[in-house]
Chains A and B, each alone.
Chain A
């Protein structure tokens, strides 16, 4: 290695960058797609569980609490690997995308359920009672009175969780989901040069930094309803 030019030649090699840019681009798309899928299913499942918990049916509540506790205690990578070997066993096809999507959605759902439930239980009981006394059915009261306030309260914590879990799509590389990190590692070992890894690193920052800045803005400006 000869000084500065060597450093740039090694870590920011333009020739190698150009060569592997298409592969990394495809990987970035998979990262974005998987991340988006996880956010949608994870948040919706969490919302559904929080609503079911509000029904206050004892066995149901216990099952939901157990689900949330277990999924929050297990490392996401462990969930991922268990599913990787477990899915074929219950007759589902083995697909790296499916495994990553399901595991991260379950992990996110557990946190989303806890955040939204915290929002629901922080509301005074009078909210529900008043809404019901105007003639709204339980579900309508939930839908139009309780949830809008509860979700509003949950938004700042929820955004942070969403960011930290969607970042984890990189874990998919362990079960060879061909997302950004995996594409970069492949390109790096093929070219014997860390430039593709640096490109992947920069892409992650470009994708997630705006989200982090947005969440900081939210925390500051989000008026708790």
Chain B
């Protein structure tokens, strides 16, 4: 028992590594703040393409893209981008590799969410908006997309929580986010407590969001 406390809940170690882990948490936060909007925008673009473009070939290509990246483990994608890209003759820095891999992967998940949302907006909304003189993109932007977002807000929140959790894989390419910071600290103090502290910090960050998501979903069922 004493051993367990010493190795996992070592308050002295917690206090020592806290500032370092806080910097890691900050990196996690801004990394999420970059990849979530980029992925969501790309996903929205894909979803609009599927629902608005008539060409069968284009729609199949987009669905192919989405399914491909839903089948592809994000960690494999990241490692392929990070370690494979230099063989093309161009060095990629960690952040760029992470952002590329995340956006490729996230776009497919956000696209599925937005597609469901767009399909849930009645056809008459677009027609009515067009009849008031709005052109197609204005009708989409001001009338259809806002309603689509409202339809699938819980799924968007849920997906974004998953993206924040996924930023941990950036630790594998040594981007200093929270998990990486904890593992570095662990190596330094030769004690696994920093990992537990990182887990606690993830909980503090994400539990409220998970609860909020639960309430959103509950409201939708009713």
Contacts and interface: CB of A to CB of B under 8 A. Distances in A.
A122 B183 CA distance: 43
B166 A75 contact: yes
Interface in A187-225: 188, 193-194, 197-198, 200-201, 204-205, 207-209, 211-213, 216
Given A11-B84, A118-B221, A197 B199 contact: no
Interface of A is mostly: helix
B87 A10 contact: yes
A93 B118 CA distance: 50
Given A194-B83, A198-B84, A209 B195 contact: no
B207 A73 contact: yes
A173 interface: yes
Interface string B41-77: 0000000000000000000000000011011111111
B28 to A, nearest CB: 10
A75 B25 CA distance: 13
Contact of A181 (B8, B73, B195): B73
A159 B73 CA distance: 16
Interface stretch (B11-19, B120-128, B168-176): B168-176
A211 B71 CA distance: 8
Interface residues of A, number: 49
Among A90, A181, A188, A194, chain B packs the most CB atoms within 10 A around the CB of A194
A18 interface: no
Interface in A78-130: 78-79, 81-82, 85-86, 89-90, 118, 122
Given A85-B195, A89-B7, A181-B76, A205 B71 contact: yes
A188 B211 contact: no
A194 B76 contact: no
Interface of B is mostly: helix
Among A73, A76, A89, A200, chain B packs the most CB atoms within 10 A around the CB of A73
A17 interface: no
Interface residues of B, number: 48
A69 B68 contact: no
A197 B195 contact: no
A73 B203 contact: yes
A185 interface: yes
A205 B207 contact: no
Given A69-B207, A69-B210, A122 B221 contact: yes
Given A86-B192, A167-B73, 7 more contacts: A69-B211, A78-B168, A118-B217, A181-B75, A181-B76, A188-B83, A204-B71
Interface of A: 1, 7, 10-11, 69-70, 72-79, 81-82, 85-86, 89-90, 118, 122, 163-164, 167-171, 173-174, 181, 185, 188, 193-194, 197-198, 200-201, 204-205, 207-209, 211-213, 216
